[in-house]
Structure 1
Amino acid sequence: MHEYTSTARVWGLTCPGLPEEVSRARRWTRDILRGSPLAEDAELIVSELSANAVLHTASGKESGSFHLAVAVSSQVIALSVTDDGGTETAPTTEHPGGEAAHGRGLGIVGFIAHRVVVHDSLGGHTVTAELFVEAPPGEPPC
């Protein structure tokens, strides 16, 4: 393979931090992954991560935004959402009570994805969920 050739394709989208932009991010992801058996899982992950950015960070404030990246290779689909920060703690999985209206999003993402990574990113956080196209030995496919 040529040293400048990559088998991964990467797309990026920056959205205003408005609730209606979550559906835009979901449609954009669906269009990129059209025909993939992991498209519905990816859509749900993007929906949850984008909603978390809008609801729980400065991304949802006036003039806020969130950035979505989708990377696709023959081995993995990586979905990353970067927020504008504004919280002192990194996103974590919560265990809300049965009557709670919020708090399940990252848990859902963790259940669907093969791996979830949270890291600091320019004053905010980036949450990346990976879906393996073929599950590693010993793990069931999505």
Structure 2
Amino acid sequence: MCPMLNSRLDIHRWCRNFPGTKAQISEARRFVASYLGDRPETYTAEVVISELATNAIRHTHSGQAAGRFGVTLHAGTTLLILAVHDEGGPSTPRLCQAENTDQSGRGLHLVESLTTRWGVHGDESGRTVWALIPLGRTA
């Protein structure tokens, strides 16, 4: 983890690397939950990070032997940015049509429905898939 605070912008940032295995998806969810605590947006953020981490280990070099993926959280007063950094691969993440009976291919549709916006930057040597979740006021 690398917690940081930019007091000028009031932005908090945490990041952590994970081995590229299926077992680490739940660890990434716990990392997000520990950062957000009992905020109303925690469950949504856990689902989004789970989908993005799953895609990283399923579709990139992060899921190969000794592969890794990273999770970064940036939180301001009104917006949470979730990002998963992977080790790249031959294809770019994109929305695709999934058959009704096919469980594969639905993750980015779920991310799109739960977030304000999402996107990708990088190339075959490494990508970051990010998503924005609005934050409500905390007491």
Say whether the fold is shared (TM-score over 0.5): yes
User: 1:4 offset after TM fit, Å?
Assistant: 6.2
User: 1:44 offset after TM fit, Å?
Assistant: 0.3
Q: What TM-score do you get using the length of structure 1 for normalisation?
A: 0.87
Q: 2:94: which partner in 1?
A: 92
Separation in 2, partners of 1:94, 1:81: 19
Equivalent residue in structure 1 for 2:33, among 30, 35, 38: 30
User: 1:129 offset after TM fit, Å?
Assistant: 0.4
Cα deviations across residues 21-54 of structure 1 (Å, max 9, x unaligned)? 0000001101110121111100000000001001
Structural mapping, 1:45-64, within 5 Å: 45-64=48-67
Separation in 1, partners of 2:105, 2:93: 10
Q: CA RMSD in A?
A: 1.6
Counterpart amino acid of 1:117?
A: G
2:75 equivalent to 1:72:
yes
Q: Which stretch of the first structure deviates more once superposed, 63-72 or 94-103?
A: 94-103
The size of the alignment, in residue pairs, is 131
Counterpart amino acid of 2:119?
A: V
Separation in 1, partners of 2:103, 2:7: 48
Q: 2:3: which partner in 1?
A: none
Counterpart amino acid of 1:6?
A: L
